[in-house]
Structure 1
Amino acid sequence: MPKKLLQKFMPKPETLRNNKYLRIFGGLLDKPNLWTLNRKSAPGSFAVGLFVAWLPFPFQMVIAAGMAIFFNVNIPLAVALVWITNPFTMPFMFYAAYILGAKILGHNTAHFNFEASWQWVESSISTVGPPFLLGCIILGAIFAFIGFFVIKSLWKYSILFKWNKRN
């Protein structure tokens, strides 16, 4: 796997260590594997980052960092991947999650009227909430699974390619 390419897009360890929200992890951030990028930490980082990217919660970067610490994978890569959900992609991703959850739960999606207000959120949390959360968790798990095995395979084939090139 092109290590330099991935490292170009990852936040620097110093930036993350000094982040006011990540200071809650304190001494847990001192494990060396959390900051190195290798064939064992990269696939797990992709899985963590892609799963958390689908979670509809604030502070996704903190959640990704906590999960990266728990699973002992690269924090910068996991944190960088949560930015897949951004103001441009979020509506499409979360609508797809709602549609998937509604199909699984057998809910009707034909009469879905969104309003950007707190009253709408409070009134529809019981109808829209369960299918939306279910869809987010399922799509997060699917993308984490795919991301893990794609990166693991790419890394393996990259090593084999370099090995064959040397011979």
Structure 2
Amino acid sequence: MLKRILPTHDSIKKSRLLSWLGPRVHDPSLWHINRRAVARGVAIGAFFGLMVPVAQIPAAAIASLFLRGNLWIAAVSTLVSNPFTYAPIYYFAYRLGASLIGAPVPQHAANLSHDAVSQAWISQITDLWAWISGIGQPLVLGMLLMALSGATIGYWGARLFWRYKVISKRRRLLHARVLRQAH
């Protein structure tokens, strides 16, 4: 199904937009659907989707070039964080980081909605030093741990899902073969 949507290797070679990347963009791992490239793409996308708050897709694409992950899967996997999930992700990341470094969680932060937390976070950015010493350290630590965990879970989850699909396809073919031989 995905092969109909994805560009062909020849169209990628002829693309003027991608010519600046040179021979690296012609690596088959970036475009083919196979278990290793897809698993790497999911891991890269999950990492940058949970770690980097801006320019996630370009960051994942650049990492895919060097780590030989599927470029399209990496780009789509960054969408684990989106405008609907930013507030819960950052709130949980802050709470996780604060609990690990022993930073006090402000009482008012425990009772705020996710939107209020994201607005409070945005208002803290105006004073960079206050942000780094206050909410920044726990937030960055929590985001890093969540990104590493998400990448690990994404990688092994994609590998296990791929394995499940291969085994179920083999079982269906074997079952069909047995039925043909019985008749």
Q: TM-score, normalised by structure 2?
A: 0.75
Q: Residue deviations 1:60-103, cap 9 Å, x none?
A: 11110111111111001101111221111111101111110110
Q: Which residue, 138, 145, 156 being the options, matches 1:138?
A: 145
Q: Deviations over 1:105-163 (max 9, x none)?
A: 00011244716445255532222111111111100111111111111111111111111
Classify the secondary structure of the residue corresponding to 1:73. coil
CA RMSD after TM alignment: 2.7
Q: Which aligned segments of 4 or more residues in structure 1 are displaced greater than 6 angstroms?
A: 17-20
Tell me the CA shift for residue 33 of structure 1: 1.2
Partner of 1:85: 81
The equivalent of 1:119 in structure 2 is 126
Match 1:94 to one of 87, 90, 93: 90
Within 2, Cα distance between the matches of 1:115 and 1:63?
23
* Structure with greater proportional helix content: 2
Unaligned runs of 5+ in 2: 110-116, 175-183
Partner of 2:51: 55
Out of 145, 153, 156, the position equivalent to 2:160 is 153
- Shift in alpha-carbon separation, 1:134–1:24, aligned structure 2, 3 A: farther
- Percent identity of the aligned residues? 26
Q: Report the residue type matching 1:94 in the other structure.
A: Y
Taking CA–CA contacts closer than 8 Å with sequence separation of 6 or more, which of the two structures ends up with the larger relative contact order? 1
Alignment coverage as a number of residue pairs: 159
Q: Structure 1's 24 and 103: CA in aligned 2 closer, same or farther, altered over 3 A?
A: farther
Distance 2:156 2:142 in 1: 21
Superposed displacement of residue 52, structure 1: 0.7
Partner of residue 68, structure 2: 72
Q: Which amino acid aligns with 2:73?
A: L
Give 1 or 2 for the bigger CA radius of gyration: 2
CA 1:26–1:86 in structure 2 vs 1: closer, same or farther (change >3 Å)?
farther
Aligned counterparts of 1:103 and 1:24: Cα–Cα separation in 2: 45
